[in-house]
Structure 1
Amino acid sequence: MAAFPAVLQSEWTKLRTVRSTAWTLAPAFVATVGLGALITTLANNNFDDFAPDNSPFDATGTAFAGIILGEIAMVVFGVLAIGNEYSSGMIRVSLAAVPQRITLLAGKAVVVCALALAVSLVTVFTAFFLGQALLGGHSVGIGDPHVLRAVFGAAGYLTMICLFSAGVTAMLHNQTLALGVLVPFFFLLSPILSAVPKVKSVAHYFPDYAGQRMFLVYQESGQPYGPGTGFAVCLAWTLAALAGGALVLRGRDA
């Protein structure tokens, strides 16, 4: 039986040596920070157009405007981190070295989670502090009420989206198919359903919508739930995807 620390070391080595996979995290930083800087600059220069009429201006959420692009890179990283071994056939070698399939998937998930969380924390803190600097007199401090929670919530959201994508890829055993499912789900199906009155209540419990509640400083009027419930819903989707991946891996040949 392979020891779990050895599995972690092996998975880290595989992920680190396939540079194309690791480098997919760079666009998450660039897109999130870059677009956030652009939006906060526009907000500061055109504050009357950005400030809502009946609720306080969310300076933290404005700095995180680029997360919608950053999550694309996180989805791709989660898919490639699991799917590369299936596309290359190396999964058979991994299973021969670690016959305990759940242990193998757990090792992959822990390594992916650690790297995604580290990048996410650097990304969101950079986006926050740069955004507040660009907002000038409209900025908030990290110690203001609910702000630090929102910053960590943004990092948690990006990390869970990555793990969710990894779990879906483990279920499908094909990175092209996984991307073909995940990208339309997050960037077409979910936004479209959110705009349709009769079904938008269903879309409110999709992982992207729920996760985006996690970095709200102020709960918006008319929204169905706040950050705590958003975290629970997003976590449930993530755990369900990983559990589904584990079930498929146990019952299906590589």
Structure 2
Amino acid sequence: MSSQTLEETRAELDAPRSGFGHALRAEWIKLWTVRSTWWTMSALIVLGAGLTTLICWGNASWLASSDADESPGSFITWGMMIAQVCAVIVGTLAVTSEYGTGMVRTSFAAVPHRGAVFAAKAIVVCGVLFVVGTATAVLGYLGGNYFLDREGIGLALEGDVARAMYGSGLYLAALGLLSMAVGFLVRHTAAAISIVLATVFVIGNMVMLIPGELGDFITKVMPGNAASSLVAPVSFNPEALGAWTGFGVLMGEVAALCALAWWLLRTRDA
């Protein structure tokens, strides 16, 4: 063995191994160095805060009248119902974009423990969506409450209203994690986004057609419905699960899907 080969081998042995901190930093860089993240986050803020402000502006006078059959608290986070589409896209693209380009093989070569890659992606995606989601809900509250205040029905940022602000961030983080898990399962951007959006928006409403108590139960525990009370001071659906009960149900569903995605990630080829 030549002296050059010995030196190269020694250098490889002495090189620092990639730890979980390196994986976190890599996932952070990968998330923010693609234009789709910036566009999607911008859309999340515009839709979440902008639509809440617009809806409150358009309904403030009606909500203040005696004809109103809804609470102002049902509208103060209204835009977050649409902004959740952006959370689905962010969570999905964090996974499927790498499978689409083949870069996932590089990620697994740099961090052979695939579970660490999964965990690092989950922490980064959930952390970003929680912060952006909470900030967006607060912006929507400030804009929407301005018009509610003008009609004398403004809401103080306390109690259930304050809970709805960070609850919106928690819900978007959970939805991003759910989308990540589906992304690892199907490895295709369009398919993963379609599956999650269909589950949240379409199937979640269609199950209402199932008669009896079974239909009521399934409707309450669907991912898009379970945490509906968490993201609004007053839910549009009085039969919905309680705020933290519903969030617990949602997190149980997300955890089960993540466990399946984690197992498949470690057992099948990249």
Q: Same fold (TM over 0.5)?
A: yes
Note if contact 1:61-1:215 (Cα within 8 Å) is conserved in structure 2: no
Distance change >3 Å, CA 224–CA 134, structure 1 → 2: closer
The separation in 2 between residues aligned to 1:148 and 1:200, in whole angstroms, is 29
Q: Unpaired segments of 5 or more residues in structure 2?
A: 1-16
Query: RMSD across aligned C-alpha pairs, in angstroms?
Result: 1.9
- 1:29 is aligned to 45
Radius of gyration: which is bigger?
Answer: 2
1:33–1:224 distance in 2 versus 1, CA, 3 Å: closer
Percent identical residues: 29
| 1:108-123 equivalences in 2 (<5 Å) | 108-123=121-136
- Partner AA of 2:180 in structure 1: A
Cα 1:49–1:38, aligned 2, differ >3 Å: closer, same or farther? Answer: farther
- Select which of 201, 206, 212 maps to 2:217: 201
Structure 1 residue aligned with 2:3: none
Flag the 1:204–1:100 CA change in 2: closer, same or farther, 3 A: same
Aligned to 2:146: 133
Structure 2: distance between partners of 1:92 and 1:83: 12
Aligned ranges 1:4-19 → 2 under 5 Å = 4-19=20-35
| Alignment of structure 1 residues 69-108 onto 2, 5 Å | 69-108=82-121
- For residues 119 and 3 of structure 1, do their structure 2 counterparts lie closer, same or farther at Cα, with a shift above 3 Å needed? same
Contact 2:201 2:224 in 1 (8 A): no
TM-score, length-scaled by structure 2: 0.86
Moved more, 162-171 or 60-69: 60-69
1:155 pairs with one of 160, 169, 183 = 169
More deviation, 69-78/149-158: 149-158
CA distance in structure 2 between the partners assigned to 1:210 and 1:117 by the alignment: 18
Equivalent residues of 1:194, 1:204 under 8 A apart: no
Aligned to 2:227, the other structure's residue is in SS state helix
Counterpart of 1:174?
A: 188
Q: Do the aligned partners of residues 157 and 50 (structure 1) sit closer, same or farther apart at CA in structure 2, a change above 3 Å counting?
A: farther
Structure 1 residue 182 displacement after superposition: 1.3
Gaps of 5+ in 1: none
Give, in whole Å, the separation in 2 of the partners of 1:88 and 1:220: 42
- CA–CA distance in 1 between the matches of 2:41 and 2:166? 18
Q: Distance in 2 between matches of 1:29 and 1:120?
A: 8
Query: 2:71 is matched with which residue: 52, 58, 61?
Result: 58
Deviations 1:67-96 (A, max 9, x none): 221011111111111110001111111111
Give the Cα separation in 2 of the matches to 1:35 and 1:50: 23
1:165 matched to 2:179: yes
Q: Equivalents in 2 of 1:195, 1:123: separation in Å? A: 33
Residue 210 in structure 1 maps to residue 210 in structure 2: no
* 2:160 is the counterpart of 1:146: yes
1:250 has 2:250 as partner: no
Distance 1:69 1:49, change over 3 A: farther
Shift in CA distance, 244/222, structure 1 to aligned 2, threshold 3 Å = same
Distance 2:211 2:258 in 1: 31
Letter in 1 for 2:89: V
Q: Shift in Å at residue 139 of structure 1? A: 1.1
TM-score, with structure 1 as normaliser: 0.91
Segment drifting more, 131-140 vs 214-223: 214-223
